[in-house]
Structure 1
Amino acid sequence: MNYHVMMKEYKDSDILSKVEGSSKHEFIEIVLEELSYNLKVLVDAILVEKKSSKIKSKKTSKIIFPSKQKTSKIKSKSFSKIITSLMILMSSLDFKKGKEIAVNLNNLYDYCRTQTLDSYKNQTIDGLNSSIGVIDDILSAWKQIK
């Protein structure tokens, strides 16, 4: 088993153990943290792919950057995790108890979803960076709630 596979399994089990013993509030915090992380991973993967495609020499590109197939897989996984996280967050909103807040959060999550879809489709990062700002602000506020 190589190092990267072991680290992935460790991270997956670490997240699972956090989720299993968490309250609803802690669960949402975990989802927000993972969402922020995966948005940043997707930005990095898009940037790496763009940089590697600008290098004329394939030999140099292979030395400096991961393979296009690996980068594509990272982008795909991150994108999937982002959309899943956003759907979890949207479905967790309680429109009966917190109508105004729930509506506003739903709109923000939908904005992030739309920006992510557009950015992934067009391989751009502006919408992703905007989404990172939104999610990081929500996460920061969420952590203030006890």
Structure 2
Amino acid sequence: MSFLDARSQYRRAEEGNLPELSDPHQIVSVTLRELHKSLAVLMAAQSDRQRYPAPHITKGLTAVYVLQSSLDFEKGGEIADNLFRVYEFARLQLIAAFQRDKGAQLGAAHGYIGEILSAWQSMPTKD
């Protein structure tokens, strides 16, 4: 999947609320932020013993798909493998929330994605 395909897919899920992006670094950054935000909303619902908001489950799953499919395992090696595992953990927790599992580990997923987001935002971009 190209970054343009990923951007288009995420835009459809977000219903056009994403800014126009062409830089792959920015696309990943926005996708990570949106995943982090959706996990936070789901965590809040979990702690308040409320129903999980379905739009945030959908957005989260779409973001995970975009992030996983944008990984380059040949160039990324072990880092790509580890990122895939973290994204897969987040995906499984989102699925647990979709299944209304009160034991979904959304806090852990939120924390892991937050660490990746922080590291991603601190990386210099190529000009």
Which TM bucket (shorter chain)? Answer: 0.7 to 0.9
Q: CA deviation at 1:43?
A: 1.8
Bigger radius of gyration, 1 or 2? 1
Count of matched residue pairs:
111
Equivalence for 2:79: 101
What amino acid maps onto 1:87 in structure 2? Y
Q: CA deviation at 1:119?
A: 3.6
**Does the C-alpha gap of structure 1 residues 13 and 120 become closer, same or farther in structure 2, counting only changes over 3 Å?**
closer
Equivalence for 1:42: 42
Structure 2's unaligned 5+ residue stretches are 1-13
CA–CA distance in 2 between the matches of 1:90 and 1:104? 11
1:86-144 deviations in whole A, cap 9, x for unaligned?
00000000011111111110011111111222244244265000000000000001011
CA–CA distance in 2 between the matches of 1:121 and 1:14? 27
1:15-56 deviations in whole A, cap 9, x for unaligned?
2x2xx23410011000000000011111223344x26xxxxx
CA–CA distance in 1 between the matches of 2:67 and 2:81? 12
**1:27 and 2:27 equivalent?**
yes
Contact 1:115 1:131 in 2 (8 A): yes
CA–CA distance in 1 between the matches of 2:58 and 2:103? 16
Runs of 4+, deviation exceeding 3 Å: 11-14
CA–CA distance in 1 between the matches of 2:117 and 2:26? 11
Contact 1:94 1:102 in 2 (8 A): yes
Secondary structure of the residue that 1:25 maps to in structure 2?
helix
Contact 2:94 2:104 in 1 (8 A): no
CA–CA distance in 1 between the matches of 2:34 and 2:45? 16
Secondary structure of the residue that 1:30 maps to in structure 2?
helix
TM-score by length of 1: 0.67
What amino acid maps onto 1:28 in structure 2? V
What amino acid maps onto 1:97 in structure 2? K
CA RMSD of aligned residues (A): 2.2
Structure 1's unaligned 5+ residue stretches are 1-10, 52-70
Equivalence for 2:10: none
- Percent of paired sites with the same residue: 32
Equivalence for 1:58: none
Equivalence for 1:87: 65
Instruction: Compare the two structures and name the one with the higher helix fraction.
Output: 1
Contact 1:46 1:123 in 2 (8 A): no
